[in-house]
Structure formats: structure tokens, C-alpha cells
Amino acid sequence: MSGQKKLRLEDKLGLDRFDIDKKSHIEVNKEICKKCVEKVCLYVCPARTYALEGEDLVHNYEGCLECGACRIACVRKAIVWSYPRGGFGVTYRHG
């Protein structure tokens, strides 16, 4: 391993391939999210697919790594997550 450059998270994410489905595999109940103070989904997603626009939570499912961390971390159960349909989703590459 000596002499090899260590990749940052952003660099590693760039090695993945996404076959995007027009139908999201994640549903966010925005009414529940508006009442949430903690907004842990903003912090647990390794791909940073959640963001706030004003007071509204926005989710960009196209870059989802399909780890399910958002669903597990959401104590209010505002996130419903399932695997993408067959043939869609993320493909991890080695590099």
C-alpha cells in the first residue's frame, strides 16, 4: 500500500455507476419531516443526498448508495425505503 494515493469519500463515490429509475425507491413524508427538529437524515447519508431548501427537506435519490441509513436513523419513520427495481440502482466499482 505504500506509495498509493488514498482516495477521499468524494473520489470513491465517483467510481460508482448509477442506473437511475424514474421512480424513486425512497419516499419521504414531508409533513412528518417538517415537525422533526433533529433532521438526522442530513447527517447520516454518506452520499449526502438530503438537503434543506428553506424549511423543506429535499431528497436527491439519484445518488443514493442504497445503504438504508436514512431509514434506520429516522426515529419518526418518515422515510420509507426499498431496493430499486431490478436492473436499476448503484453498481459499486473497484478502484
Instruction: Return the domain boundaries, the chain.
Output: 22-87
Please report the pLDDT score of residue 23 as a whole number. 77
At residue 39, the pLDDT reads: 92
- Which CATH number applies to 22-87? 3.30.70.20
72, 70, 46, 67: which is closest to 57 by C-alpha? Answer: 70
What pLDDT, on the 0 to 100 scale, is given for residue 4? 67
First to last CA, the chain: 13
pLDDT digits (tens, 9 = 90+) for 37-54: 999 999 999 989 999 998
Per-chain mean pLDDT for the chain: 82
